[in-house]
């Protein structure tokens, strides 16, 4: 019997319009009624998912969400950050300057304000505000001020065309891969954060906290940043729209995010 369903959001639980379908809501609520834990495991920050927390009534219950690709864990009732493994100081400065050298646009998920900091208005700002739902502030001197004030952040994002980010991933020095976690959450987004953080480790640690074994966990995702979570879970599920490398390691492939793939998993394996 499965006791916890860890689901990615963009490209997985949410459809192509960034919406939570009635079919998915119904399935999630039925699972909750069976005392199954539903855990959002997302690259988004907490302020970008509160409307989905509220839509399922998690704001009235002691539930959990994993945000920023496993960097942080939140209580849904209080929105208290229970755990955060952040970047700060010289690491932040280095990652920002490296991204600028490669020609990427830099977005920083700030801690503890939980907003998105950009160096200048760019073509991806609307995506951050409107699609992801993050509050955005412009700080042109962010990089030069980092070390002085020991600024902290959940993660640094490089944004650009798919081709540019493909090139950046190939050019990032091996020692950088050795020091930080580097994953694609979307074709246009490359995320860099603490090396010890990923969705798989976060789901594992939450399972231990709730006394739920890996064999009692379903994990559902579609992108590179879901890899560890899908590999860890007793039932790793790739969406029909998932990248091929994720489908190759999954135990099961469900329908697409526009055809309620998450609801179909819950109906088949949980209800």
Catalytic residue list: 8
Longest CA span, the chain: 54
Hey, what are 74's tokens? 């939140």
Contact 265, 26 (CB under 8 A): no
Q: Is 234 exposed, middle or buried (0-12, 13-18, 19+ CB in 10 A)?
A: middle
| Distance of alpha carbon 181 from alpha carbon 230, whole angstroms | 17
| Distance of alpha carbon 222 from alpha carbon 214, whole angstroms | 20
| Distance of alpha carbon 63 from alpha carbon 189, whole angstroms | 28
Within 8 A by CB and 6+ apart from 114, the residues are: 45, 46, 47
Half-sphere exposure of 193 (CA within 13 A, CB side): 29
């Amino acid at each position: 019997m499965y006791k916890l369903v860890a689901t990615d959001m963009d490209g997985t639980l949410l459809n192509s319009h960034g919406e939570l379908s009635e079919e998915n809501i119904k399935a999630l609520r039925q699972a909750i009624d069976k005392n199954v834990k539903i855990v959002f495991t997302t690259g988004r920050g907490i302020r970008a998912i509160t409307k989905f927390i509220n839509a399922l009534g998690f704001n009235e219950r002691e539930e959990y969400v994993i945000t920023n690709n496993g960097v942080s864990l939140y209580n849904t009732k209080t929105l208290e950050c229970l755990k955060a493994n952040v970047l700060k100081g010289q690491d932040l400065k280095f990652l920002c300057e490296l991204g600028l050298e490669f020609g990427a646009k830099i977005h920083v998920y700030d801690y503890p304000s939980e907003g998105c900091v950009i160096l200048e208005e760019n073509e991806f700002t609307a995506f951050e505000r409107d699609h992801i739902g993050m509050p955005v502030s412009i700080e042109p001197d962010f990089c030069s001020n980092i070390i002085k004030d020991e600024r902290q952040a959940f993660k640094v994002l490089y944004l650009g065309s798919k081709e540019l980010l493909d090139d950046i991933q190939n050019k990032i020095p091996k020692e950088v891969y050795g020091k930080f976690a580097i994953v694609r959450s979307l074709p246009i987004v490359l995320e860099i954060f603490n090396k010890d953080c990923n969705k798989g480790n976060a789901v594992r640690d939450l399972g231990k906290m709730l006394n739920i074994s890996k064999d009692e966990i379903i994990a559902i995702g579609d992108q590179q940043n879901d890899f560890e979570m899908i590999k860890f879970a007793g039932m790793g599920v790739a969406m029909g729209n998932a990248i091929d490398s994720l489908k190759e390691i999954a135990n099961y492939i469900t329908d697409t995010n526009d055809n309620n793939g998450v609801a179909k998993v819950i109906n088949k394996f949980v209800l």
